[in-house]
Structure 1
């Protein structure tokens, strides 16, 4: 039997590595854990998501996002979604208004410089992820 402990990483492709690194560092506060090197040049890196979770980024200039991609988005839990929204807007990045979703979790959405959709979550005492119970989707 296997027991999954947690999400290790999500991998994304970047048109511009340094613009992507700056977005995740300055807008989301995610520091680089290490770089991937090839022929003495950085071609990717790992970003710290807290604990043992990461976002893995590789340079791929021809990458493009489409609603038909198999991975649609990734989600980051934040401590204070209102503070996160204020900070993100202060960096000139568009962010959706906070919404209490059908799973009783607050959410907001942003997009990175490559078109990757990022959901921001703030759990509540009633969040289905902990309280259980089926929820009717409202989208």
Structure 2
């Protein structure tokens, strides 16, 4: 069995994160450490992959809660291997594609009426007279409804 012999500083340096980030991930149960006889944290090498996957997923906009849920789906909550990573990536692609479509819509229509109900723009009375879009729900309903339909 692999020994937990990496210090928190070594892991932080290798992963490009702050020590406090590792402590935070541990509190969120995304990574695990062991304590040595001096009560200092020690990590197994596979934590490097877990932290790297967490960072990559966060860059894609995946929440820590979803990352935790995905890690929990692995047998014995083990660190994802190459096959697992492919499966995780495919799972997250659908969510990312929806987010990309939403961001493209936002980019294209940010200067126009988005259906938020403010009616402060000259175009809003044309698209959302008397805030009729409020019947469709809260928030920027033109953007939200478009992204959900895609």
Give the TM-score, by structure 1 length: 0.25
Give the TM-score, by structure 2 length: 0.23
- Kindly name which structure, 1 or 2, has the bigger radius of gyration based on alpha carbons: 2
Q: Relative contact order (alpha carbons < 8 A, sep ≥ 6): 1 or 2 greater? A: 1
More strand by percentage = 1
